[in-house]
Amino acid sequence: MSLQMIWFVFTLGEKIIMRLCPTEEETVDLLNKVLNGNKLASEALAKVVHQDVVFSDPALDALEINIPQDTLGVWVDPIDSTYQYIKGSADIKSNQGIFPSGLQCVTILIGVYDIQTGVPLMGVINQPFVSQDLNTLRWKGQCYWGLSYMGTNIHSLLPPVSTRNSSETQSQVTQNPSSEAECFHPFSAVISTSEKETIKAALSRVCGERIFRAAGAGYKSLCVVLGLVDIYIFSEDTTFKWDSCAAHAILRAMGGGMVDLKECLERNPNSGLDLPQLVYHVGNRGAAGVDQWANKGGLIAYRSKKQLETFLSRLLRHLAPVDAHT
């Protein structure tokens, strides 16, 4: 797979979209005109955009699975956390492995879903800025993927990283707390800096000091995928299907998921109904433009259904009654 167009945005805001030529040499000549005769830059850029990108993983190579392509839809976010990408901060320190801002919060998201049911089936999250070589200043990235289809659940993750040394330790702490503090605040969560005060107040009662703020919906979801936190919760309607589909698919492959927060808060836990998972094939009624693809009820990303149920029951106890219906 190779790129078909190159975008240039100049300092005065002028934008030029250039289609690739049939050959690398022709693209170099065209780029040379756009880049004011900088042949070295033209050759380097042409070489990159003409090369085929091959994605391979031993776990996938050993898997035989046939998914009809005409049943699939795709959501792509080419740069999630655009502001952090433009700002380009490379010296942000992490808080227990979680970056509040900076290039580490930038992700590329590809989510594949069933066009009939809206269920996410495959997801890829590319985190291009994971670590930087201080000598060369070059960045190393990491790619994560997951597949959940017809009973097959597989993902690329190594044993999840945890702020409590290991995922096994985290599970033991959650289920069998060894101290009064752990018993009172067994959950950790990542939130947006724009989260509502009512949600933050309730979370502080559920999670104590284990609340982390971070930029980028894709990155916050990735924090859950990696086991850095238990929950990503967001009550606003400013994330979209392309923000959540990739991570949702990976979490499904791991036994977790992503649910509509508003519907969860309004749901009767004794109803026997399934958790209201986000779906990706239909837009919001009455909405226009990009708003029809917004996650209108907010979201919660989680790794364990049982853990989510416990988290929701505790969250509800600390939310004012009006918040569960607004």
The pair of three-digit structure tokens given for residue 166, joined into one six-digit string: 């290991």
Query: Strands 139-149, 189-191: parallel, antiparallel or unpaired by DSSP?
Result: unpaired
Cα angle at 228 between 226 and 230, to 5 degrees?
Answer: 95
Contact of 84 with 220, CB cutoff 8 Å: no
Please give the Cα distance from 261 to 240 (Å, whole number): 14
Give the residue among 131, 160, 141 at the shortest CA–CA distance from 250.
160
Please give the Cα distance from 257 to 260 (Å, whole number): 10
> Is position 80 annotated in a ligand binding site?
yes
The DSSP secondary structure of 204-236, one letter per residue, reads HHHHTT-EEE-S-HHHHHHHHHTTS-SEEEE-S
> Is position 91 annotated in a ligand binding site?
no
Give the residue among 82, 124, 90, 159 at the shortest CA–CA distance from 249.
124
Please give the Cα distance from 260 to 43 (Å, whole number): 47
> Is position 29 annotated in a ligand binding site?
no
> Is position 79 annotated in a ligand binding site?
yes
- The backbone region for 206, taken as left when phi is positive above 0, alpha when psi lies in -120 to 50, beta otherwise, is alpha
If one counts every other C-beta atom within 10 angstroms of the C-beta of residue 143, the result is 14
Binding residue ranges for Mg(2+): 77, 79-80, 243
Binding residue ranges: 77, 79-80, 243
